[in-house]
Chain A
Amino acid sequence: MSGAPLPEEAAPAGPAPRQHHRPAPHSAPQALPLDLADLITSRDTRIVVCCGAGGVGKTTTSAALALAAAEAGRSVVVLTIDPARRLAQSLGLVELDNEPRRVDVPGAPGELHAMMLDMKRTFDDIVVAHSTPERAEQILENPFYVALSSSFAGTQEYMAMEKLGQLRASEQWDLIIVDTPPSRSALDFLDAPNRMSRFLDGTMIRLLTAPARAGGRAGMRFVSAGFLVFSRIISKVLGGQLLRDISAFVSALDTMFGGFRERATATYELLRRPGTWFLVVATPEPDALREASYFVDRLSAEEMPLAGLVLNRTHPPATTALSATRADGAAEEVLEAGGEGAELAAGALRVHAERMTLAAREQRLADRFTSAHPEVAVRTVPAAAGDVHDLDGLRVMADALTGPDGDTPTGVPRTRVLPARRS
């Protein structure tokens, strides 16, 4: 039994303790184990998409899983969006050529390839592939296209999706692992491509620019009074010149219309095909877990397959025999007794007390997630002491991701940070 007081979170807790006449034993929900070794070695798995809020370690998780897959004999490519420089270097991603490069993994029976997404280049490539050279040139030089392809919210997600489609279509790899862009919301990865293709193919942009295009009058038949007001406001607010740029862009793009939506839809469908799995990554923080929750709900609504939750950067203690309160008390006693090494031992006890408190908070957040999503399998990954920036660091993380569930020093299963309390 742990004497550590469970800290209260600012956000309202899960279900309130029930007050029955017969006191029912209160047991915290038990998360299902997540078998990532099976996921990445299974030949049926063709695509793994790592999603989650920004800053939770999606890139390192993707790279570590790809390494583990290559070492298990698969031919794998990892598509990263924005890796840390040192990690990118260790993966040989020094040249930004928007193509996968082989990473040398000594002794691995499989193959590891890695690439970093260049969104502008991917967009330019689509334009070039789908229009005549003159048209392409017009589009690439249009100021609106330049803004759209480099700063449009959602371009990165759309292009990540596009690149995934290309990699899959090439049939060069038997496993593709995708890291998703550092969006505000994990849902952006699913929403942005559709939003963007809807926009590019949409009637609104055609109506808006209709008067400026050849045969503009024909388009006027659809124009309602409300739309005229809208059009006037838009040009008033944004200035007429922007509308002229958009108009020129749209007419140059005319030959490609339909293409954008079709492509986005095709890739979206790819994500629903058997063989594709989503992996949600979160840190044990309220924000990150809230994002993870939204994402899990959304996947289930879209009938997209969820492999589970990676709870990254946890702080499991090396022993759970001593609670935080007792460790703090012991630190005082040790100091009082004095003698050689007393300060060091007291320091170590305080480190342990803090670790227990932190772990209790993390477990509590994990429990709250599992209460809401009991069907989601969980794997915790302890925080490394420093940054992961080489193959050795990735291998340590890969072991934590794919190792057996109960092989931790304290015997606490890897679904958890602290052992389940017996009631």
Chain B
Amino acid sequence: MSPDPFPVRCHVVTGKGGTGKTTVAAALALALAADGRSVLLIETEGRQGIAQLFDTPPLPYEERRVAVTRGGGEVKALAIDIEEALLEYLDMFYNLKRAGRALRKMGAIDFATTIAPGLRDVLVTGKVKESVTRRRDGHRVYDAVVVDAPPTGRITRFLNVTGEMAGLARSGPIKTQSDGVMAVLKSPQTAVHLVTLLEDMPVQETADAIAELSGAGLPVGSVIVNMATEPMLPEDCLARAAEGGLTAAELAPALAAGHVHDGTALAEALATEATEHARRWAAQDELRDEVEALGRPTVELPLLPGPIDLGALFELAGRLEDHLRTEVAA
């Protein structure tokens, strides 16, 4: 039997709202599922974003295959429904399935998750732990589990269920379960990846989250820079263009030589767009130092101009796969 190529088995993906963490989580699941591996992608926030990305009907509370990858690999997806998770929990530990259904009718489950804000997180992380450690016939069911987790502002509280519940439930089975979950989440088989854009606020939030996660003893993985502008102008022209030094007159001769006969207006417009492109690149490039200063392994994903469909996900997955391999080699 070949050794597992990737030691980390539980990948938690977080990021500020709008950074595309669901897309990154989906691409990461595809990357990990290459070469015949089996991966579970878990959605924790009930948005059905995964179903949209993979163009499938809304996911029920059930593990469904959403993609196959090369070498017979597969990605299954699970959208956690908090009520169903609580019922499952009640059934598993207290044999209370029927009572649970009655409670749901009373709106009691909504109430229960309301009086103990952390209960929701306990149930979700409990499900994550269960799928990471699940075995069938002595083998692990999933080679890896990818979690599309809550945003950076809430990630530490979400993962640090013991800390969260300590203030509320100091005894009882929830407390016992929290402890079991923490054992997995704080182990080296878990990595929390942070998705950011090359913009002030997401980078700032990433730095804050890394500090919080480390403080809570949770393992920080890679920083994934998403939607980066990749330079399309020759390198020696970029800085000059960003400073506004690019003129239409400079472009005109080469355009004419290439038989692009649309007059000076076109050259002007192209110069404007090239300048904007260079400025965007420069503004982002300034933040690269800050990302580097975070001291985490970093990978960049480009801003794709087209729609995010399965093809685009595989393109992003390819980049992530390369990154994972370098990480393991390092």
Contact = CB atoms under 8 A, between A and B. Distances in A.
B106 A226 contact: yes
Interface string A329-343: 010011111111111
Nearest to B240: A344
A351 B274 contact: yes
A336 B258 contact: yes
Contacts of A54: 16-18, 151
A140 B270 CA distance: 61
Nearest to B177: A237
Contacts of A106: none
Interface stretch (B212-220, B229-237, B321-329): B229-237
B105 to A, nearest CB: 9
Contact of B170 (A53, A241, A333, A334): A241
B184 interface: no
A344 B169 contact: no
Contacts of A333: 258-260
Contacts of B180: none
B273 A147 contact: no
Contact of B266 (A86, A185, A229, A322): A322
12 contacts: A144-B168, A152-B114, A241-B170, A317-B269, A318-B276, A342-B257, A344-B250, A347-B234, A349-B260, A351-B233, A352-B270, A385-B280
Nearest to A287: B49
B119 A341 contact: no
B167 A226 contact: no
Interface string B241-271: 0000010001101110111101001101111
Contact of A86 (B117, B120, B200, B233): B200
If over half of B's interface residues share one DSSP class (helix, strand or loop), that class is named, otherwise mixed; here it is helix
A344 B200 contact: no
B305 A354 contact: yes
A94 B42 CA distance: 39
A233 B272 contact: no
Which bucket holds chain A's interface residue count?
35 or more
A146 B118 CA distance: 13
Interface in A119-169: 143-144, 146-148, 151-153
A10 B55 contact: yes
B18 A7 contact: no
Which 7 pairs of residues, A with B, have the shortest CB-CB distance? A55-B18, A54-B17, A239-B172, A386-B283, A334-B258, A319-B269, A345-B254
B103 interface: yes
Contacts, number: 247
Contacts of A308: none
Given A199-B114, A287-B52, A341-B251, 5 more contacts: A233-B96, A319-B270, A346-B258, A351-B232, A386-B284
Interface string B287-320: 0000000000000000001111110000000000
Given A333-B260, A338-B257, A361-B305, A354 B232 contact: yes
Interface in B159-189: 164, 167-175
Interface of A: 7-11, 53-56, 84-86, 143-144, 146-148, 151-153, 182, 184-185, 195, 199, 204-205, 226-227, 229-230, 233-242, 245-246, 283, 285-288, 317-319, 321-322, 330, 333-352, 354-355, 357-358, 361, 383, 385-387, 389, 409
B273 A348 contact: yes
B92 interface: no
Given A339-B254, A343-B234, A361-B307, A237 B200 contact: no
Contacts of B268: 318
A102 B269 CA distance: 41
Nearest to B272: A318
A337 B170 contact: no
B308 A10 contact: yes
Given A55-B18, A238-B119, A10 B273 contact: no
B201 to A, nearest CB: 4
Given A84-B200, A330-B258, A340-B253, A242 B232 contact: no
B277 interface: yes
A347 B274 CA distance: 8
Contact of A229 (B99, B260, B274): B99
B174 A237 contact: yes
A348 B45 contact: no
Contacts of A387: 199-201, 283
Interface in B16-61: 16-19, 22, 45-47, 49, 52-53, 55
A86 B164 CA distance: 31
Interface centre among A53, A355, A385 (most CB of B within 10 A): A385
